[in-house]
Amino acid sequence: MNDELHDPVVVPAAALASELLKGIVESFVLREGTDYGARELSFEQKVAHVMHQLERGEAQIIFDPNTQTVNLVAVSTEPRR
């Protein structure tokens, strides 16, 4: 058994087949839970919003080889110190 830990991998959205990308985004949106904002968005609107974030580089897909899971994370726009 290999107990070696591996760093998470950034997966470019453009490298994924469109149906796979859509499935990842839909799964992410479903895990995010309920809106408590000023107005509710439909599931389709939420998916479109996340897709636009990926296209603009505001979010990225991360694969964790240690847990074999995929997640979407916001990209920090603040400069590192």
Residue 61 has pLDDT above 80, yes or no: yes
Query: What tokens does 5 get?
Result: 């830990």
Residue 3 has pLDDT above 90, yes or no: no
> CB under 8 Å to 11, separation ≥6 — which residues?
60, 61, 62, 63, 70
In the numeric block, the tokens 């990225």 are attached to 60
Fold of 9-74: Arc Repressor Mutant, subunit A (1.10.10)
Q: Give percent of the chain above pLDDT 90.
A: 73
Rounded to an integer, what distance in angstroms lies between the CA atom of residue 50 and that of residue 8? 20
pTM for the structure as a whole: 0.81
Mean pLDDT of 46-75: 95
C-alpha pair distances (Å), 76 with each of 26, 65, 68: 22, 22, 24
